Amino acid sequence: MKQPGMARFGPGASPRGRRRMHGASGGRDGGPLRIALLVHSTHPRGGVVHALELAEALVALGAEPVVHAPDPGGGGFFRPTRCATVSVPARADGGSLRALVGTRIEDYVAWFSRPGAERFDVYHAQDGISGNALADLTQAGRCTGFVRTVHHLDDFDDPQVAAWQRRSVLAARRVLCVSRLWRQTLEREYGVAATEVGNGVDRRRFSPARRPADPAARIRYGIVEEGRVFLSIGGIEARKNTLRLLDAFLAVRRQLPRAQLVIAGGKSLLDHRGYQAAFNAALGAGGIRTGPGCSVVVTGPVSDEDMPALYRSASALVFPSTREGFGLAVIEAMASGLPVVVSRIEPFTDYLGPDDCAWADPLDPASIAKAMISASRPDRAAALRQAGLRACARFSWEDSARRHLEVYRGLAARGREAVHA
């Protein structure tokens, strides 16, 4: 097990002493930019996946990013990386969301404030926890400002957590976002002019081409060989609209009795137990059996190496979220040759065309069910596969990394000016 606080360098990382120059200069002494990317977790949530993929693309461009995350167990990130990572020592939380967020902010501040802590040209927060830590460090003179990426913003009942979220945006020197929806939301609700940097997809990894290990993954997760397999990514959460998805699936089963719903993922810092209890009650009321080979399979967290096989084992991805920052799973599924059902809301309507997917009203289970059945029909599925492959080809981590580098260079230059002023 990797010990907390130790840096790990993947095979493609560029620690000092092994610098590569491909247009990512702009750091101190004219060297490559040194970038501290901060995320809230080592688990595969959207912002964490984004940060790792971005960092690996930055390495390929000659920069030197290091991805940091609080890591109470010291196990490191959910997958091997081609960039440097740091497991930040983290304490057990106090139980409530406020206690957890406050503890993680303090953990980050302590790490970057310790004697001999490494200094970076750019500090980049991917969430509210790391944004508040960097705001504190800026106030203490430990850094000269930071970048904050907004993937999406939540509605918190706790006023302190809501205040932390707002501060993480307003205290940033530059704000980035991954979709037009959130660029417009930040301008309207925060008065912030954010830069849209987008997302990408690794089309070498997510591909329609079957792999020898795919059948074993089907068996491991209890996916049936026959019938329609509808895949949901993100676990059982209100934002993922899982209760309405279940209602839609029950309607689908009346037409496709051998259909199966596979709900994958779901590791989160937020407490979704109340919603999950309602979901379990709905399962019981519908007489639905769960478990491997059953009508509904709830996998829990899925290993990173199994995700491409999981996409290729399904008939369609069903993603009827009520709120998303972007929806990385959508373009991963498309790159895997999987038809996609999505909510007819932003941000999906921003980057998908009328024929790229099967659209659904996320507030209407009947609409979701209709889209699921449509996407599973052979002729429609074939058209959606081709449309999805064309749509996902527009997204590149390299393009996103280049947009980030433009922001980083400007921030690093202003930081040097502030130091010498």
CATH of the domain at 360: 3.40.50.2000
CA distance 249 to 259: 8
Query: Based on the domain organization, do 187 and 221 belong to the same domain?
Result: no
Q: How confident is the model at residue 418 (pLDDT cuts 50, 70, 90)?
A: low
CA distance 79 to 69: 13
Residue 163 lies in a domain: yes
116-162 per-position pLDDT tens digit: 999 999 999 999 999 999 999 999 999 999 999 999 999 999 999 99
CA distance 379 to 119: 56
Query: Based on the domain organization, do 243 and 368 belong to the same domain?
Result: yes
Query: Based on the domain organization, do 238 and 383 belong to the same domain?
Result: yes
Buried/exposed 239-259: b ≥16 CB within 10 Å, e otherwise? bbbbbbbbbbbbbbbeebeeb
Write down the pLDDT at residue 300. 87
Residue 1 lies in a domain: no
Question: Amino acid identity, residue 338?
Answer: L
Is 60 exceeded by the pLDDT of residue 233? yes
Residue 209 lies in a domain: no
Are 249 and 230 within 8 A, CB to CB? yes
Domain extent, residue 180, equals 7-200+397-416
Write down the pLDDT at residue 31. 84
Average pLDDT over residues 45-62: 96
CA distance 279 to 242: 8
Are 223 and 260 within 8 A, CB to CB? yes
What are the phi and psi torsion angles at 9 (to 5°)?
Answer: -110, 120
Q: What is residue 25's DSSP assignment?
A: B
Q: How confident is the model at residue 12 (pLDDT cuts 50, 70, 90)?
A: very low
Contacts of 87 (CB under 8 A, 6+ apart): 2, 3, 4, 5, 6, 8, 42, 69, 71, 74, 75, 76
Write down the pLDDT at residue 92. 83
Q: How confident is the model at residue 112 (pLDDT cuts 50, 70, 90)?
A: very high
Residue 181 lies in a domain: yes
Average pLDDT over residues 216-243: 91
Query: Based on the domain organization, do 376 and 402 belong to the same domain?
Result: no
Query: How many structural domains compose the chain?
Result: 2
Query: Based on the domain organization, do 360 and 243 belong to the same domain?
Result: yes
Q: What is the dihedral of CA 85, 89, 95, 97, to 10 degrees?
A: -50
Query: Based on the domain organization, do 362 and 402 belong to the same domain?
Result: no
Average pLDDT over residues 19-42: 77
Query: Based on the domain organization, do 324 and 367 belong to the same domain?
Result: yes
Residue 265 lies in a domain: yes
Query: Based on the domain organization, do 223 and 100 belong to the same domain?
Result: no
Q: How confident is the model at residue 15 (pLDDT cuts 50, 70, 90)?
A: very low
Query: Based on the domain organization, do 349 and 409 belong to the same domain?
Result: no
